[in-house]
Amino acid sequence: MTKTAKTKSPDKEFSNSFLLFGKIDSESAYEVCNWILSNNFIKEKHESLNLFINSEGGELTAAFAIIDTMSMSAIPIKTIALGQICSSGLMVFMNGAKGNRILFPNTSIMSHRFNAGSDGKFHELKAIQKEFDLTHERMVNHYIKCSGLSKREVIKKMLPSEDVYLTVDETIALGLADIVSSEAVEI
């Protein structure tokens, strides 16, 4: 059984599969985090959890909430990309359990720097600049952790000033995914 990020259904709460489709925001992050945590607290735990992702990206803070919850899960989380994994959707995908980050051949994959804007008084803008710098550093460190690339390689290959579209083979070569599958995935 699977459950979508927008559905709250107690009878499906402990399913080992979840569909994260669409924009990543606070609501979808809550649903994914709740699903992961609920499965970690049941007596009869699944051997693994399956997070199916088809996302154009969204809010980085929401994505990092999902990433941190995945990282603390005692149950390995397999990530399966369908359709597209772009921006923060890619960041969530690549945080899956090593050896279990699965792409399908028609998946569209895109990485880029985050964008943000702010207005306010000079001192407020200086303060928010620190958060922008910290966010960029968190992104770079996440790519390093998930790929094994150096900081220099991450900035050059994954986070240059323009969007970076990747083939499934390039994504695997960069260490962001493990398997390309055109067959049914063992769930």
pLDDT the model gives residue 186:
66
pLDDT tens, residue by residue, 126-135: 787 787 788 8
pLDDT band at 4 (very low <50, low <70, confident <90, very high): very low
pLDDT the model gives residue 113:
81
Whether the predicted pLDDT of 79 surpasses 80: yes
Whether the predicted pLDDT of 6 surpasses 90: no
Q: What phi, psi does 133 have (nearest 5°)?
A: -65, -45
Please indicate whether residue 172 or residue 8 has the higher confidence score (pLDDT): 172
> Among 41-50, 51-60, 176-185, whose mean pLDDT is lowest?
176-185
Q: Which residue has the tokens 């790929």?
A: 147
Give CA torsion, residues 47, 65, 139, 4, to 10 deg: 60
Quote the tokens at residue 93: 């995908």
Partners of 114 in beta bridges: none
Topology given in CATH for the domain delimited by 10-180: 2-enoyl-CoA Hydratase; Chain A, domain 1 (3.90.226)
| Extents of the domains making up the chain | 10-180
Give catalytic residues, as residue numbers. Answer: 87, 112
- Count the alpha carbons within 13 Å of 170 in the hemisphere toward its beta carbon: 11
Quote the tokens at residue 12: 């499906």
**CB of 116 closer than 8 Å to CB of 86:** no
Q: Compute CA distances 117 → 25, 26, 120, 128, 169, whole Å.
A: 17, 19, 10, 10, 34
Whether the predicted pLDDT of 117 surpasses 70: no
144-167 mean pLDDT: 95
Q: State if pTM tops 0.85.
A: yes
pLDDT band at 1 (very low <50, low <70, confident <90, very high): very low
pLDDT band at 118 (very low <50, low <70, confident <90, very high): low
Whether the predicted pLDDT of 5 surpasses 60: no
58-80 mean pLDDT: 97
Task: Return the SS3 of 172.
Answer: helix
111-118 mean pLDDT: 74
